[in-house]
Amino acid sequence: MSLDLNSVRDYLKHYDGPDVNLMEVCGSHTGAIAKNGIPSLLSDKIHLISGPGCPVCVCVSSYIDRLIELSLTENTCVVTFGDLIRVPGSQESLSIARGRGARVRMVYSPMETLDLAEKDPATTFVFAAVGFETTAPVYALLVEETKERHLSNVKLLTAIKTMPAVIDSLCSSHAPVDGFLAPGHVCAVTGYTAYEGLAKRYDLPFVVCGFTGPELLIGLTLLVKYRGQGIVKNAYPRVVTREGNQEAQALMQEVFEPAPAAWRGLGIIENSGLVLKGSYASCDAGSRDLSEDNKKNRACICDQVLTGRKKPVDCPLFGKVCSPMHPQGACMVSQEGSCFTWLTSGRQR
Ligand code: SF4
């Protein structure tokens, strides 16, 4: 079939084959799908699932608890992106802890931590390094620059995750997924050879996809079309190459090494995270101490939402007790979270 915009819109709206579940594993895709009103353009037989690719959504509560503990420690300040401060830990969020004296600074770039540290040498600044392969090279730069400037008061508490291992874990646990929109930003760094192995192993299609409305529609069309085939298609060639950005990969490999990581709702997955290598241990604020999730509200079903087994509307708290103003789980905090986008885009209707 032709992939011009009218043809793909027509194809997706009138698709009448077997039901198909398609997962976007990137939080930016989740946001872009909501912003572009993509669900309203699809046939009732095409179901979209938001996977575990929103960095704050997959953050375990024990990680938030550790950040809070550090932020309440004498001469210590936690530095973070804005989204993270509202994520619930087991008892409270960083934002609430701030009300009782926790030192928390929000920044737009991790590199701002360097200036903070130089201006206030008596304080240790701990950067909350969450995210995927997309942000890992920036964290690697922060570590390199910390060494370069001989700063001993910059540390990272890392919760960096990697995509292929979690997708492997989802597929091997028989998550109800018939195809994946592969994460475009991550693939820009890593390339997509790792997804070729997964596609073959599980006979599932992967489409590397961009973030505009037309790119998403083409990506979804390819996934429906190649349902049941172990194939990878690159529908984002203006940004992504098969081998990715090798300079960024080399930087990551210099500073980080693979390690098990704890995922909200998914437990600990082998080789699904990155931690600082031993030669950079002086910059580590204790990232290797893993513990499982211990969520605040036991009725929250974030874990099942993230694996496609339930929809946000299946949660008894959705839109009632849990809202963007009063999030009970991480999926309601970030604009990339599935519960947030379902509620704010009116998708539940
Ligand atoms: Fe958790 Fe709130 Fe989503 Fe329910 S609606 S799954 S409580 S984040």
Residues near ligand 1 (Cβ within 6 A)? 297, 300-302, 305, 312, 315, 317-318, 322, 328-329, 331-332, 339
Confidence of residue 136 (pLDDT cuts 50, 70, 90): very high
CATH 3.40.50.11740 occupies which residues in the chain?
Answer: 1-293
247-302 per-position pLDDT tens digit:
999 999 999 999 999 988 788 999 999 999 999 999 999 888 767 666 657 888 98
Q: Return d(Cα 164, Cα 166) in angstroms, integer.
A: 6
| Cα separation of the two ends of the chain | 32
- What tokens appear for 150 in the block? 């001989």
347 has pLDDT over 80: no
Ligand 1 atom closest to 339 (CA):
3
Task: Please tell me the distance between residue 93's alpha carbon and the centre of ligand 1 in angstroms.
Answer: 15
Between helix 213-225 and helix 27-35 the angle, nearest 10°, is: 110
pLDDT of the residue at 86: 86
Task: Please tell me the distance between residue 321's alpha carbon and the centre of ligand 1 in angstroms.
Answer: 9
pLDDT of the residue at 1: 63
5-58 per-position pLDDT tens digit:
889 999 999 999 999 999 998 888 988 998 899 999 999 999 999 888 888 888
Tell me which amino acid residue 86 is: R
Q: How many CB atoms lie within 10 A of CB 145?
A: 15
Closest Cα to atom 7 of ligand 1? 300
2 has pLDDT over 80: no
Question: 297, 309 in Cβ contact below 8 A?
Answer: no
Question: 331, 339 in Cβ contact below 8 A?
Answer: yes
> Looking at per-residue confidence, does 326 or 95 come out higher?
95
Task: Please tell me the distance between residue 303's alpha carbon and the centre of ligand 1 in angstroms.
Answer: 9
Confidence of residue 123 (pLDDT cuts 50, 70, 90): very high
Task: Please tell me the distance between residue 293's alpha carbon and the centre of ligand 1 in angstroms.
Answer: 15
| Contact residues for 109 (Cβ-Cβ < 8 A; gap 6+) | 138
Residue 293, phi then psi, degrees to nearest 5: -65, 145
- The least confident of 29-38, 131-140, 311-320, 324-333 is 324-333
The residue to which tokens 């996934």 are assigned? 223
Q: Write the Ramachandran bin of 69: left for phi over 0, alpha for psi from -120 to 50, otherwise beta.
A: alpha
Closest Cα to atom 8 of ligand 1? 329
The whole-angstrom distance between residue 142's C-alpha and the CA centroid of its chain comes to 20
Q: Write the Ramachandran bin of 92: left for phi over 0, alpha for psi from -120 to 50, otherwise beta.
A: beta
Between helix 163-172 and helix 193-202 the angle, nearest 10°, is: 0
Question: 210, 236 in Cβ contact below 8 A?
Answer: yes
- Average pLDDT score, the chain: 92
pLDDT of the residue at 293: 65
The topology under which CATH files domain 1-293 is Rossmann fold (3.40.50)
pLDDT of the residue at 296: 57
- What tokens appear for 52 in the block? 């575990």
Closest Cα to atom 3 of ligand 1? 339
| DSSP state letter for 275 | E
